[in-house]
């Protein structure tokens, strides 16, 4: 039986949204791939390390971690059964043997005590029902002098903000805390540091990073993908005429970011690192 603290996230990521992200994993991973350089430089994974990947989704970052820890092991944990199915299949296809995937909520999952040298996450730690309890559970799974490195969203000077700003002019705008399930909290570095400190981590640091994210081949292609896949939960229930206006306006907004063969926007994130004693 899978232990779950956040029933809402369990439902979303095993329902239509989780299946959509699994179906479009290649494009979603391509969008996030430029962030990997920041994450893995900070994680400093060694050849024999045991690595925990939190909110691993379809396992893109878990597979990178497993390759870097060729003499160790990588474990990816996620709530989404559809995405983990893809993760396991791709690991077999890529002949990565030192990798395991577990379905669970990292807040309450029975992680083995003092087992991992490193815990990582690419935007997968922002949805916990109780972040302090979740990070305390993750900390217990790390060995002494263990390392934590993750990326989370950062507000301000972020070109991707134009997406929600444009949609807000045409669609009802639910409260970010309600619609994004905790993401807004983790845009505040002071809050991040408080959570990790309360969870027992030390040497906590938050650094701003930026990278270009590829949204589509052209503005219309990008707008369709955002509304039909990545932000489908955010815009669900919108009236048909309003949605059509929003789609047209979003494509017009994104047109200014067309360069050569793609639409690319500058995305901002916090790179967070911490240690155990």
- pLDDT, averaged per 10 consecutive residues of the chain (277 residues), comes to 86 92 96 97 98 98 98 98 98 98 97 98 93 97 98 82 90 56 74 97 97 95 95 85 95 95 94 97
For residues 108 and 5, the answer to whether their CB atoms sit within 8 Å is yes
Query: What length does the chain have?
Result: 277
Question: Is 259 within a domain?
Answer: no
The per-residue pLDDT for 36 is 98
In this structure, what CATH number is given to the domain that contains residue 38? 3.40.50.150
The per-residue pLDDT for 238 is 86
The per-residue pLDDT for 179 is 45
The separation between the first and the last C-alpha atoms of the chain, rounded to the nearest angstrom, is 32
Range of the domain at 72: 7-156+180-213+268-275
Q: Which residues pair with 98 in a beta bridge?
A: none
The per-residue pLDDT for 157 is 64
Question: Is 226 within a domain?
Answer: no
Q: How many domains does the chain have?
A: 1
The per-residue pLDDT for 182 is 53
The per-residue pLDDT for 174 is 52
Q: What is the DSSP letter of 227?
A: I
pTM: 0.93
Using the CB atoms, write b or e for 179-196: b if 16+ within 10 Å. bbbbebbbbebeebbebb
The per-residue pLDDT for 58 is 98
For residues 127 and 181, the answer to whether their CB atoms sit within 8 Å is yes
The per-residue pLDDT for 80 is 97
For residues 246 and 173, the answer to whether their CB atoms sit within 8 Å is no
Question: Is 98 within a domain?
Answer: yes
The per-residue pLDDT for 158 is 73
Question: Is 249 within a domain?
Answer: no
The per-residue pLDDT for 176 is 45
């Amino acid at each position: 039986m899978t232990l779950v603290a956040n029933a809402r996230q369990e439902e979303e990521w095993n329902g239509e949204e989780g299946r959509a992200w699994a179906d479009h994993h290649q494009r979603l991973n391509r969008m996030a791939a430029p962030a990997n350089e920041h994450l893995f430089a900070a994680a400093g994974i060694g050849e024999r390390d045991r690595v925990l990947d939190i909110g691993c989704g379809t396992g893109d970052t878990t597979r990178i971690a497993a390759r870097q820890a060729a003499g160790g092991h990588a474990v990816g944990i996620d709530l989404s059964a559809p995405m983990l199915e893809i993760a396991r299949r791709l690991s077999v296809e890529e002949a990565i043997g030192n990798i395991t995937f577990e379905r669970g909520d990292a807040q309450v999952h029975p992680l083995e005590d003092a087992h991992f040298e490193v815990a990582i996450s690419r935007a997968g730690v922002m949805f916990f029902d109780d972040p302090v309890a979740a990070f305390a559970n993750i900390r217990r799974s790390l060995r002494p002098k263990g390392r934590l490195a993750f990326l989370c969203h950062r507000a301000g000077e972020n070109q991707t903000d134009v997406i929600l700003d444009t949609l807000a002019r045409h669609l009802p705008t639910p409260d970010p805390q309600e619609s994004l399930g905790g993401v807004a909290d983790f845009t505040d570095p002071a809050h991040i540091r408080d959570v990790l400190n309360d969870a027992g981590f030390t040497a906590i640091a938050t650094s701003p990073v930026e990278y270009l994210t590829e949204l589509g081949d052209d503005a219309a292609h990008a707008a369709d993908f955002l509304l039909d896949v990545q932000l489908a939960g955010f815009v669900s229930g919108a009236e048909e005429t309003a949605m059509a206006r929003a789609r047209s306006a979003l494509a017009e907004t994104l047109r200014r970011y067309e360069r050569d063969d793609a639409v690319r926007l500058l995305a901002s994130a916090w790179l967070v690192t911490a240690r155990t004693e």
